[in-house]
Amino acid sequence: MSAPVPLLETRKLSKNFGGLRAIDNIDLSVETDETVGLIGPNGAGKTTVFNCVTGMSPPTSGDILYRGESLAGLRPDQVTARGISRTFQNIRLFREMTVIENVMVGSHCRARAGILGAVFRPKAVVKEEEELAAKALGLLRFVGLEGKADLWARQLPYGDQRRLEIARAMASDPSLLLLDEPACGMNPQETIALMELIRLIRDRGIAVLLIEHQMKMIMGISDRLVVLDHGTKIAEGTAEAVRADPAVIGAYLGKESIGA
C-alpha cells in the first residue's frame, strides 16, 4: 500500500540570486492536518522558501508539489487558485479600502464575474457580491474583527491589521495557509490570542506553514519544526527534539534563544 501524498512537498528546492544560493536542496513537507513551523536565524532562507512555493520567486532547481502535482512555472494567482494562500512579514493591506473590502479582494480568484459583469452589474453579479460580502463578514467574526468592517484598513491598530491580513488570505478558501511572522510586533496578550486563532484555523481543516521568531509561540503551536541555517535544512522534528539538537543550539548561539 502506497504512502499518502503530502499536501505540500518540496524536493531539493534551491534558489540562487546571482552568485548567492539563498536556499540549497530543501526537502520539506506539510500534511493536510498539520501546523509546521519553519524557523532559523535571520537570513536562513525561510521567506525565500515561501516566495518559491507561492510563485513569487521561481526556484533555480528542484520541484514543489501540491497534492502531488508540480507548481513549477505557475504565477502567484494560479498558485492561490489551487489552494495556497499567504500573509507577509511586512503587512500588505489596501490601506485606503475598508476592512471588509480588503477581505473581499481575497475572494477574487473564486469570483465568476468578469469585466463586463462588473460594468453592467446583472443580477447574478449583484448576488455574487452580496455572497462575497457575507463570507467576508463571517471571516471578520472568525478573526475577531466583528464590528470593524466599515473602518479604513489604516485605522486598525497593528495587531488587528495582522488579523485582517489573515482573514483576507482565508477568503481564497485555501487548504494550506502560509503565515510569515504573524506575531511580529504583537504584545504577549495578542500573541496568545494569535496562537488560539491558528489552532482554530487548523480545526477548519486548513494546514499551516508558519515562520516565526517568537520561539515559545512557534514551539507551542507547531506539530513539527523544520530548521534552516544559511539556506540549508539542519534539523526537523518535534519541538522537544529540535530544542535539544546540537546543530540548532549552535545556529541560535545558545539554548536561551530557542526557548529553552
Q: What percent of the chain has pLDDT over 90?
A: 73
The pLDDT of residue 120 is 44
- Summarised one tens digit per residue, pLDDT across range 251-260 is 874 545 555 4
The pLDDT of residue 249 is 87
- Mean pLDDT score, 134-156: 95
User: Domains of the chain, with CATH numbers?
Assistant: 1-83+176-260 (3.40.50.300), 93-173 (no CATH)
The pLDDT of residue 33 is 87
The pLDDT of residue 111 is 59
- Summarised one tens digit per residue, pLDDT across range 218-252 is 999 999 999 999 999 999 999 999 989 998 888 87
The pLDDT of residue 199 is 96
Helix (H), strand (E), coil (C) string for the chain: CCCCCCCEEEEEEEEEECCEEEEEEEEEEECCCCEEEEECCCCCCHHHHHHHHCCCCCCCEEEEEECCEECCCCCHHHHHHHCEEECCCCCCCCCCCEHHHHHHHCCHHHCCCCHHHHHHCCHHHHHHHHHHHHHHHHHHHHHCCCCCCCCEHHHCCHHHHHHHHHHHHHCCCCCEEEEECCCCCCCHHHHHHHHHHHHHHHHCCCEEEEECCCHHHHHHHCCEEEEEECCEEEEEECHHHHHCCHHHHHHCCCHHHHCC
- Mean pLDDT score, 112-124: 56
pLDDT > 90? residue 2: no
The pLDDT of residue 260 is 45
- Mean pLDDT score, 72-87: 95
Q: Exposure string (b/e) for 32-68, b if CB count within 10 Å is 16 or more? A: eebbbbbbbeeebbbbbbbbbbbbebebeebebbbee
pLDDT > 50? residue 119: no
- Mean pLDDT score, 8-17: 97
- Summarised one tens digit per residue, pLDDT across range 87-113 is 998 888 998 999 999 999 988 766 565
Chain mean pLDDT for the chain: 90
